Chain A
Amino acid sequence: MTNRQLLLGPLSKNNAILVQILGICSALAVTAKMEPALVMGISVTAVTALSSVILSFMRDIIPTRVRIIVQLVIVSMLVIIIDQLLKAFAYDVSKQLSVFVGLIITNCIIMGRIEAFALANKPWPSLLDGIGNGLGYAIVLLVVAFFRELLGSGTLFGIPVIPGILYQWGYANNGLMILPPAALILVGIVIWIHRARNKDLIEQQ
């Protein structure tokens, strides 16, 4: 694969959430608003990229038997750094994300990319692969959060965008969109649209 494919492939054709079905847990939980979704997307991209590079450098010296522990230690170290940074510079968002910052450690995308790619490739392609997969994750998060915040609260990034006159005419925010089930259904619909456009991804019966 060329570097370009490594970076851009995971954005659509090989998307971590929509195609590989990895990293769903946090993807659904932080998407009620755009802001936490954006912060989460950036955090996961950073951790995926950095952990891929570090483990790619170390790939020849890690004994196979203990590799999971080594991976977990490196990833949790990076996540602790992110957590402390968020607490210091974006305390509100860090409170909103609550346990989901810690759960980046167990995000399947990160472990999946390390196992499937970084441990068998040189650092530079691993970096691109990590960034690509992180961005693919972030895009899906932002798409879901866009619809949930727009339809559920009538705002984007906390700024009201639905004109007040609509509310006077009887428009109401859809309360269901803020609740957890809406995230599942929206991701289901995004997968539906994505597969309808990429016919080769359709599952055989």
Chain B
Amino acid sequence: MENLVNIFIRSTFIDNMIFAYFLGMCSFLAVSKTVKTSLGLGIAVAFVLLITVPINYLIDNYLLKPGALTWLLGEPASGIDLGYLSFIIFIAIVAAVVQLLEMFVEKFTPVLYNQLGIFLPLIAVNCAIMGASLFMQERDYANVAEATSFALGSGIGWLLAIIGIAAIREKLAYANIPAPLRGIGITFIITGLMAISFMSFLGISL
């Protein structure tokens, strides 16, 4: 249990998707103009992460890894390594889940659907989602609970980051910024400063 909490805290604050790995920057920069829409996108990303990472974990461990097929085909399958298929399978799972989520959101919260616009389908190509699955594979979590805890932490970390930058950008509208730095330039620099402040979480563990 303690281990799960540790993974959660680590992936939320220290290995934050935005500030430590810059994953999902495209939508992070484009949608973070108001707190309300960024809250919607943040929740959507966290939700997709929470579903796709455990599914991909199971697929990776029971189908793709070297020797993973032994539970199905017995001893002769121990030499089979389908690892090279992981990219294409992961992205297919992500695209399918995003498609389902899109239909769901369109049906039940049309307002949010209109606000998110093009960015909902683009979650499929949001690096944070695919990146989390690849990190899950690389870090070799021991069981599906650990992978889920990592997914939840990453999602919440992403949500925190986008709400934080959106809140700052709302205030920035009143600031007098040098013309060439206006808009995207200042957002980069502020994200950098936020990343420095997030670095103070380094070394925290329970």
Residues on A lying within 8 angstroms of B by beta carbon are: 21-29, 68-69, 72-73, 76-77, 79-80, 83-84, 98-99, 102-103, 105-108, 111, 179-185, 187-189, 191-196, 199, 202-203, 205
When distances are taken between beta carbons in the complex, the residues of chain B under 8 Å from A79 are 87
Q: Which of B95, B126, B127, B188 contacts A184 (CB 8 A)?
A: B188
Q: Which of A24, A76, A183, A203 contacts B26 (CB 8 A)?
A: A24
Which parts of B119-136 form the interface with A (CB within 8 Å)?
121, 124-127, 129-131, 134-135
* A27 CA to B189 CA, complexed, in Å: 15
21 A-B pairs (CB sep. < 8 Å): A25-B25, A25-B127, A27-B22, A68-B124, A72-B92, A72-B125, A73-B92, A102-B86, A103-B134, A105-B125, A111-B125, A184-B188, A184-B189, A184-B191, A184-B195, A185-B189, A185-B192, A188-B181, A188-B188, A193-B180, A194-B180
List the count of A-B residue pairs having beta carbons below 8 Å apart.
Answer: 139
Interface membership of B179, Cβ < 8 A: yes
When distances are taken between beta carbons in the complex, the residues of chain B under 8 Å from A192 are 178, 180-181, 185
Q: A105-B91, A108-B26, A181-B19 are in contact. Are A191 and B127 (CB under 8 A)?
A: no
Say whether B95 contacts A99, CB under 8 Å: no
* A69 CA to B127 CA, complexed, in Å: 16
The 10 closest A-B pairs by CB, nearest first: A188-B188, A184-B192, A203-B183, A195-B180, A185-B192, A24-B25, A181-B195, A99-B134, A188-B189, A25-B127
Say whether A106 contacts B130, CB under 8 Å: yes
Q: Which of B95, B130, B199 contacts A181 (CB 8 A)?
A: B199
* A188 CA to B188 CA, complexed, in Å: 5
Sample of 16 further A-B pairs with CB below 8 A, known A27-B22, A192-B185, A193-B180: A24-B25, A24-B29, A25-B127, A26-B22, A26-B127, A28-B25, A29-B21, A99-B134, A103-B131, A180-B19, A180-B195, A181-B195, A181-B196, A191-B184, A191-B185, A196-B180
Q: A102-B134, A103-B130, A185-B189 are in contact. Are A25 and B26 (CB under 8 A)?
A: yes
| CB nearest to A81 among chain B residues | B84
Q: A25-B25, A187-B188 are in contact. Are A105 and B87 (CB under 8 A)?
A: yes
Say whether A188 contacts B91, CB under 8 Å: no
Distance in angstroms from A203 CB to nearest chain B CB is: 4
Distance in angstroms from A96 CB to nearest chain B CB is: 13
| CB nearest to A19 among chain B residues | B184
Report whether over half of chain B's contact residues are helix, strand or loop; otherwise say mixed: helix
Distance in angstroms from B187 CB to nearest chain A CB is: 8
When distances are taken between beta carbons in the complex, the residues of chain A under 8 Å from B130 are 102-103, 105-106
| CB nearest to B89 among chain A residues | A76
Say whether B95 contacts A69, CB under 8 Å: yes
When distances are taken between beta carbons in the complex, the residues of chain A under 8 Å from B178 are 192
| CB nearest to A184 among chain B residues | B192
Residues on B lying within 8 angstroms of A by beta carbon are: 19-26, 29-30, 84-88, 90-92, 95, 121, 124-127, 129-131, 134-135, 138, 178-189, 191-193, 195-196, 199
Say whether A188 contacts B185, CB under 8 Å: yes
* A187 CA to B184 CA, complexed, in Å: 10
Say whether A205 contacts B88, CB under 8 Å: no
* A179 CA to B180 CA, complexed, in Å: 26
* A80 CA to B89 CA, complexed, in Å: 11
When distances are taken between beta carbons in the complex, the residues of chain A under 8 Å from B180 are 191-196, 199, 202
When distances are taken between beta carbons in the complex, the residues of chain A under 8 Å from B184 are 21, 191, 203
Distance in angstroms from A111 CB to nearest chain B CB is: 5
Distance in angstroms from B106 CB to nearest chain A CB is: 15
| CB nearest to B24 among chain A residues | A25
